[in-house]
Amino acid sequence: MLASDLSSLRRQIVGAPMAGGPSTPELVAAVTNAGGLGFLAGGYKSPDRLTQQIRATRTLTGGPIGVNLFVVSPNDGDDEEVEAYRRELQVHADRYGVDLGRPRWDDDAWEGKLDVVRAERPEMASFTFGCPSATILRELDALGVLTAVTVTDAAEARTAAGNGARVLVVQGPGAGGHRATFDPATDPGTSPLPELLAAIRTVTDLPLIASGGISTRRLAEEILSAGATAVQVGTALLLAYEAGTTPAHRAALEDPRFTETSVTRAFTGRPARSLHNRFMDDHPITAHAYPQIHYMTAPLRAAAAATNDVQALHLWAGTGYRHAQRGSAADIVAALTP
């Protein structure tokens, strides 16, 4: 049983749901078994695959687990801008000998994955990129699934609380990977995480899970002291033995040639923080057509990963990436625990 205020956790550490491979059943179970709360990433998976991973995780832990789903809203991406970007990317496709993906919009199998959550009933379900309707949140609550919505400012927090979310995941500007802002056309906020927590606390008294750049025990202590109920870590787990992080991504995290992270739309059309590389410099796009650009660049990113071309690969990482350490997830969680 997972308490609604997360007080039942032995360690106030939540493993971030990292779509695209890192969040394996083994990693999720290891975080939970270490006393925290492990999270499966539902993004980009089919409903059947998500079901398989939930069940696989259940065989590895008897503790609570979470599942994260994307809330993908229709967008008004500029077709001409997307087509211009496709022409710009063709040189990469020619170099790798692959075809660019077809830019398209879909909702990431939203209804199918909701059905999975209804059937499998993970202890927590979190939502990113938007807020589910009050009807959905009430339904999950009635099923005994604790609901959380990722927010990036006080206005989003007010919406999520008003719709009935039981917990808020507060994503600060230092987080790796996609920014969770409800409107991807807007620039992501830059308020430091403690200030963001304080601003959100003025509009709700819900439990707050804080995320973004938390990579050391000292930082975890500071954020918990600033009002967070728990801290969520992702980049800190990318080098864990149990993580499904690609070899190229693992190598880049330890490569001294990468000296900073930046927010870019070049890989998916949605703002996301990555180790800064040449692809980002070559393509300073402002188009916010997500997931259209995600699908268009997917073959390029797969080819870059297969050839260990770290200068053309999305290398999601938060600002604390230099503190990421190789080791078991249990040891990493213990080292972060205040």
Q: What is the mean pLDDT of the chain?
A: 96
Residues 58 and 156 in one domain: yes
Confidence of residue 254 (pLDDT cuts 50, 70, 90): very high
Q: Are 297 and 103 in contact (CB under 8 A)?
A: no
Q: Are residues 164 and 267 in the same domain?
A: no
Q: What is the pLDDT of residue 237?
A: 98
**Cα–Cα distance measured from residue 161 to residue 203, given in angstroms and rounded to the nearest whole number:** 9
Please state, in angstroms and rounded to a whole number, the distance separating the CA atoms of residues 86 and 73.
Answer: 22
Task: Give the helix/strand (H/E) hosting 33.
Answer: helix 25-33
Q: Averaged over 208-229, what is the pLDDT?
A: 97
At 104-140, the pLDDT tens digits run 999 999 999 999 999 999 999 999 999 999 999 999 9
Domain-embedded: residue 250: no
Asked if 165 contacts 131 with a C-beta cutoff of 8 angstroms, the reply is yes
- Does residue 202 sit in the same domain as residue 264? no
Check: CB of residue 221 under 8 Å from CB of residue 243. no
**Alpha-carbon distances of 201 from 125, 149, 153, 205, 210, rounded to whole Å:** 22, 15, 11, 6, 12
In this prediction, residue 287 carries a pLDDT of: 83
CA distance 314 to 78: 23
Rg value, the chain, Cα: 19
Instruction: Please tell me whether residues 68 and 81 are part of one structural domain.
Output: no
Residues 277 and 305 in one domain: yes
Residue 261 has pLDDT above 90, yes or no: yes
pLDDT in tens, 53-70: 999 999 999 999 999 999
Would 253 be classed as within a structural domain? no
Would you place residue 75 in the very low, low, confident or very high pLDDT band (cuts 50, 70, 90)? confident
Spatial distance between the Cα atoms of 181 and 184, rounded to a whole number of angstroms: 6
Q: Same structural domain for residues 154 and 182?
A: yes
Q: Which domain holds residue 274?
A: 76-105+259-314
How many Cα atoms sit within 13 Å of 235 on the Cβ side? 28
The arithmetic mean of pLDDT across residues 132-160, rounded, is: 98
Query: Total structural domains in the chain?
Result: 2
pTM: 0.96
pLDDT digits (tens, 9 = 90+) for 82-100: 999 999 999 999 999 999 9
Check: CB of residue 249 under 8 Å from CB of residue 312: no
Residue 251 falls inside a structural domain: no
CATH number at residue 176: 3.20.20.70
- Same-domain pairing of 82 and 61: no
